[in-house]
Amino acid sequence: MNKENIMQLQIATPTLENCRYCLMCRHVCPVGHVTRKETLTPHGWGLTIASVERGLLTWNQETVDVLYSCADCGTCRAYCVTDQPLPDAIASTRANVAAQNLAPTAAYEVHKALQEWSNPYEKHVPETVKGQAEIALFVGDDAKYLWPAALESALKLLEAAGVKPVLIGVGRSNGYLASSLGFPETAEMLVQTTFDELKASGARRMLVLTPGDYYAFSLLLTERLEVEWPQGVELQEVMSLLDEKFTAGVLKFKSSDDKRPYAYIDPTHSLRIPARFDAPRRLLAGVMTSSGHELFWRKERAHPCGNSALQFTSQNISDHLTYARLADAQQAGAQVVVTEDPGCLSHLNRHADCFGLRIQGLYELLADHLL
Amino acid sequence: MENNLFLSEMIRSELSEIVGPDFVSVEESDKFIYSTDWAWMPQMWLDRGMPLRPPDYIVHPGSAEEISEILEVANKYRIPVIPWGGGSGTQGGALPIFGGILIDMKRMDKIIAIDEKSLTVTAQAGIIIAQLEWALNEKGFMLPHYAASSNCATLGGALAPRGTGTLSTKYGKAEDMVLSMQIVLPTGEIIRTPPVPKHAAGPDWFRLFLGAEGTFGIITEATMQLDYLPEARLMRAILFNDLNKALEVGRLIMTHRLNPLVIRLYDRESTSSQVKKVLGYEYDGAYMVMGFDGDPEIAALQEKKALEYCQQLGGRDLGRDPGDAWWEHRYDFYYPPKSLKLPWMYGTTETVTTFDKIANLYWAEKKAVEEGFADWNVKFIAHFSHWFHWGVMVYSRFIIEEPPQDAQEALRLHNRVWNAAMQAVMANGGMINEHHGVGLKLSRYMRKQYGEAWPLLLKIKKTIDPNAIMNPGKTGFGF
């Protein structure tokens, strides 16, 4: 029995037995919300997988498409009173399916790119770490290839805060994508390479730009992968550090002249880190003078922006998740949408014009208003 | 339909022309998921590796007009139509037992208007109740239908089986909150009921559609009464050694109109099992939770009076914490593995009757189940949770932890236990259910429940749905 099969038995089975007839988180599932299909809800995924186990269904193109339609965003688990790790169970089932060569073609294509280039976007190997510092900043692939302005601005803000990090993982996936698609060993390889760089940098703290990165280097490790977080190293979001410096008066901002109403979009995976909701809002309020609007799907019930594995395996659902975020902002009365996640920014920006919205990177906004 | 691919494709094409190709599915993976709902029977059947009869088509309409056209197709080809909200019913009310067109209502999920002066909301019937509630809360209102299924059930799904929520004792059942509805009749006409429910312009015909569970048509829109979010909510728990005395306290509170938002009284067995398992309290006796809300001074006074009744009849005040904990975790009872779940056999034989009969009914049902199925080590637990000025509902449940493995044998046993419970209920003046609806499970009791009045209901059904296409096999109506 291979590693994926063992995980399937140990993690998936009890969870699926609990989830297959439970409907208590369906109201928060973003994929269920945009598709309205019972099959594409936590209950639908649970029952589909459990029914394959019972011989009522088989893995074929239809059922595999169902399996790969989950956004792996963690919303169901965040709302589960008994903390069922359904996203982990789905990921381990995908690993089982992928090992049988039954996963969607797109999954294998992305997997190959991750193995070869460490990212799914460009045929470039990641840059290697240069120098050493007390603090490292994990850049990743989204900030490198999808929205580089976020990185430039984050560095400017960190410098203003007295932090000069060494860059690691420049152009390398954080491992989440490989894990979500069902390739845990590749995820582990990517994470381990980043940790090797971290060790070489001598850093005692690793900063990350997004809640998605934070999740990848915290819960994803402990719950899905067999890689241990380096001892004695602290993990922190840049946004959290900036908030500390802003609250302490180290960072100061001038007010924005932009009077248009805005809304902050909690990035994908935010609800996997419940304590992070206030920091970006506080910083944003420190710059914007216009009224801030809140989305319906925010904070503890924040939906993803479309930047997950779905963008490769279910483009249509991924797009609808993006449309839904933009429609939510539009209905809230916003004209400007602000967030910091490069992947979210890239997805939102592709469709923002259709909703009459302007997309604004939070790191750029803050950096542009530094005093 | 399965044996006639040509006709099957013709119908699929027609449905596709109505709602668009993205909103019709004949995929096996979808059919499989929609073949079951939340009832124990189909879940057990699948659990034993036995497939269920799936729908032939799953359609996601976006308007009442589209539903009207779908029903025209269904009438033309004499195909069953199964309205589907959240699929959270416990009685098999959404099971497509004869196949046909399953209409998933969840695309119709818009809030149409909130009237802040009259305190009403008009919404499409496919909206999930929890989402509606969140939207209302942001404006300082609530729709006080706090059902355990709020996270998954739709507004239409609350009205169609005459659902009840946690706060019903003060705010009423879902049917008490509805002012008016838009309904698509089985023959395709789109009608609106009068704008207000209280008038004298003829009989109260709009209530025909409440409790019909989709057999008289499909509710597509409803205007519901709202309330302000309460300023205060005072929760408390009391322990009784004698269940009958606790029931008497509940009667006194209700008949003296102290207006509690909830009284939930667990019998001794339920206290030692469910309350212990979910809330972690170990009490020997009947655990009662009661709450009052609204203006803090009025709520405090109502609570004070209620506590006096409790003390007079031997109730021990446990204080606020156990009451607050219950409120905080009131839905936790329904999350697996805390909830009843397979491979156990279970059923909720909930019923309602007047105060003069309730104690006898409870003890008679308990005896019928426990003595009749002692060989199966059956457990009988109950709580009294929806109180009226004249009586109370008892949420009685049976549990068999080691049921037969053979699916047919298990189903037969399930029906036998249910028969014993229902006979005891009806013999003691109870209704076959108070809020879970009739569905498939209780269909066979409808004739007995209504006696001489049943043919009248059959005539109404035949008039409204001449081709008997709507949700066949449910609420006592055939196909």
Nearest-by-Cβ selection for A21 from B28, B43, B331: B43
Identify the pLDDT of residue A11.
64
Identify the pLDDT of residue A291.
83
ipTM exceeding the 0.85 mark: yes
Contact B33 A18 (CB under 8 A): no
| Position A274 confidence tier, pLDDT thresholds 50, 70, 90 | confident
Phi/psi at B205 (5° precision): -70, -25
Four-way CATH pick for B5-106: 3.10.450.40, 3.30.43.10, 3.40.190.170, 1.10.3720.10: 3.30.43.10
Average pLDDT over residues B400-425: 97
A95 has a pLDDT exceeding 50:
yes
A10-14, A332-336, B95-99, range with the lowest pLDDT:
A10-14
A7 has a pLDDT exceeding 60:
no
| Position B3 confidence tier, pLDDT thresholds 50, 70, 90 | low
Taking only the tens place, the pLDDT of each residue in A124-144 is 999 888 899 999 999 999 999
Identify the pLDDT of residue A127.
86
Contact A36 B106 (CB under 8 A): yes
Average pLDDT over residues B115-120: 98
Quote the percentage of chain B above a pLDDT of 70.
99
- Tell me which CATH code domain B345-453 carries: 3.30.300.330
Which residue, among B353, B365, B387, has the nearest Cα to B251 in the 3D structure?
Answer: B387
Nearest-by-Cβ selection for B335 from A24, A38, A47: A24
Average pLDDT over residues B22-38: 97
Four-way CATH pick for B232-334: 1.10.490.10, 3.40.190.10, 3.30.70.3450, 3.40.630.10: 3.30.70.3450
What's chain B's average pLDDT? 97
Length of chain A: 371
Identify the pLDDT of residue A128.
84
How big is the CA angle at A268 (ends A247 and A305), to the nearest 5 degrees?
Answer: 120
Q: What are the chain B neighbours of A28 within 8 Å (beta carbons)?
A: 151
B209 has a pLDDT exceeding 70:
yes
3-state secondary structure at position B220: strand
Nearest CA in chain A to B33: A39
B307 has a pLDDT exceeding 80:
yes
Identify the pLDDT of residue A6.
52
What's chain A's average pLDDT? 95
Give the distance from residue B150's alpha carbon to the nearest chain A alpha carbon, in angstroms: 8
Nearest-by-Cβ selection for A82 from B36, B107, B337: B337
A275 has a pLDDT exceeding 80:
yes
A17-31, A61-75, A84-98, A120-134, range with the lowest pLDDT:
A120-134
Adjacency order of strands within the sheet including B101-104: B24-25, B57-59, B101-104, B81-84
**Does the beta carbon of B46 lie under 8 angstroms from any beta carbon of chain A?**
yes
Average pLDDT over residues A26-40: 97
Phi/psi at B177 (5° precision): -95, -10
For A285-331, give the DSSP string: HTT--SPEE--SS-GGGPPP-S-STHHHH-HHHHHHHHHHHHHHHHH
Average pLDDT over residues A341-365: 98
Tokens representing residue B270 in the block: 């339920």
Helix count (H) and strand count (E) of chain B?
17, 19
B2 has a pLDDT exceeding 80:
no
**Does the beta carbon of B135 lie under 8 angstroms from any beta carbon of chain A?**
yes
Burial of A144 (0-12, 13-18, 19+ CB in 10 A): buried
**3-state SS track over A264-292:** ECCCCCHHHCHHHCHHHHHHHHCCCCCCE
| Domains contained in chain A, CATH given | 3-103 (no CATH), 135-245 (3.40.50), 248-368 (3.40.50.1860)
Length of chain B: 479
Average pLDDT over residues A281-304: 95
Which residue, among B285, B201, B205, has the nearest Cα to B464 in the 3D structure?
Answer: B205
Average pLDDT over residues A175-198: 97
Taking only the tens place, the pLDDT of each residue in B425-466 is 999 999 999 999 999 999 999 999 999 999 999 999 999 999
3-state secondary structure at position B263: strand
Calpha distance A288→A259 (Å, rounded): 8
Calpha distance B343→B339 (Å, rounded): 12
Average pLDDT over residues A344-371: 98
A1 has a pLDDT exceeding 50:
no
Identify the pLDDT of residue A250.
96
Nearest-by-Cβ selection for A82 from B107, B151, B338: B338
Give the distance from residue A256's alpha carbon to the nearest chain B alpha carbon, in angstroms: 28
Quote the percentage of chain A above a pLDDT of 70.
97
Nearest-by-Cβ selection for B46 from A23, A51, A62: A51
Identify the pLDDT of residue B345.
98
Identify the pLDDT of residue A216.
98
Identify the pLDDT of residue B224.
98
Query: Domain B108-228 belongs to what topology?
Result: 3.30.465
Helix ranges, B273-380 (H): 276-279, 296-312, 320-328, 355-372
Domain ranges of chain B: 5-106, 108-228, 232-334, 345-453
Identify the pLDDT of residue B4.
87
Contact B151 A25 (CB under 8 A): yes
A1-10, A69-78, B279-288, B342-351, range with the lowest pLDDT:
A1-10
Identify the pLDDT of residue B434.
95
C-alpha distances in Å from residue A342, one per residue of A213, A223, A310, B140: 11, 25, 16, 36
Q: Which amino acid is at B204?
A: D
Nearest CA in chain A to B31: A39
Nearest CA in chain A to B42: A21
Contact A296 B36 (CB under 8 A): no
Phi/psi at B477 (5° precision): -95, 140
Residue in B27, B30, B33 to test binding to A, most A beta-carbons within 10 Å: B33
A316 has a pLDDT exceeding 80:
yes
Taking only the tens place, the pLDDT of each residue in A42-86 is 999 999 999 999 999 999 999 999 999 999 999 999 999 999 999
Nearest CA in chain B to A26: B152
Taking only the tens place, the pLDDT of each residue in B368-387 is 999 999 999 999 999 999 99
Contact A22 B335 (CB under 8 A): yes
